[in-house]
Structure 1
């Protein structure tokens, strides 16, 4: 267990609780162990420890093994294509790519894209049968990360289009191409988000 979680547990255990068996109430701790209950037990030497038992629901994607694998390949390819389009848009030689607030928007969105790949890694490593915490850390976080990327791209497109309109005399075909690159990048990330939001998750038993 990480130091952060140990500190949360110490803070939680130090609070006066009316019953021996309880659900975690600290927000961060509860989110990590949502669906778990805990029981404090004492060994022969008088040392207490916490036993956690998962009693929540298990979730699983309603997909065949082939569909399960293909979906993840599609996600990776769409995101990789999005990264390529984003990179091409940021390195285009045009006036708007040297405007501070557009550079800032591109930098922040680039970090969001990196974060979306980190969440993708978590998504790929999550077991097929997921606890509530697994589901939140994979599917829910995955969609949120892509939503943030899409918002960032829309901001870039808006800033770029606005700058080009204000300096229309200096606008060129390259400016339009750049906007289209960011637009198609957004379409790639939107496609992934849309697919994940429309995947059916079913509740399965612990023994399945």
Structure 2
């Protein structure tokens, strides 16, 4: 028998007003709003979340974070009636991909790079610290981009966090790269990996002076 108590329906969410809500196991509400949704845990459930899987608040959004409570309370999901047990394999796959550090710490099974795009991108960023990453691009429809080229702006990678989100430093660097080569770029697009020509800041991209 579960030692967790049912909890009242949440009044609101960090994603907006609730349109639908269902308590899928005691103390775990699945909610949806007009724009997003996820799981909201009761105080009792949140306190019981393993440290490796626990987020700072009781909200676990529906794209990736929902998998963390499913892993934490996996036995209850396995024994629940209906379709809940079918979420378990997907939860493992989702956590491996989006939360590789948390998953490895909780399960004791290290996540391989080919199982997690977060891990792949994070390692790629670490290897490219100090290099220029392409952060924006324009096609030949832009006045400063010739046919057959893609205009790009690149910034130097300074660091990367556990979610593979980089920080950049320094001035923007503008360049022209081969349009076909740009189509085959990797998810972490390093300027030096593409044939390119560095150019002056295009007139269209310069700050306008106020008279």
Q: TM-score scaled by structure 2?
A: 0.23
Higher helix share: 1
What TM-score comes out, normalization by structure 1 length? 0.23
Taking CA–CA contacts closer than 8 Å with sequence separation of 6 or more, which of the two structures ends up with the larger relative contact order? 1
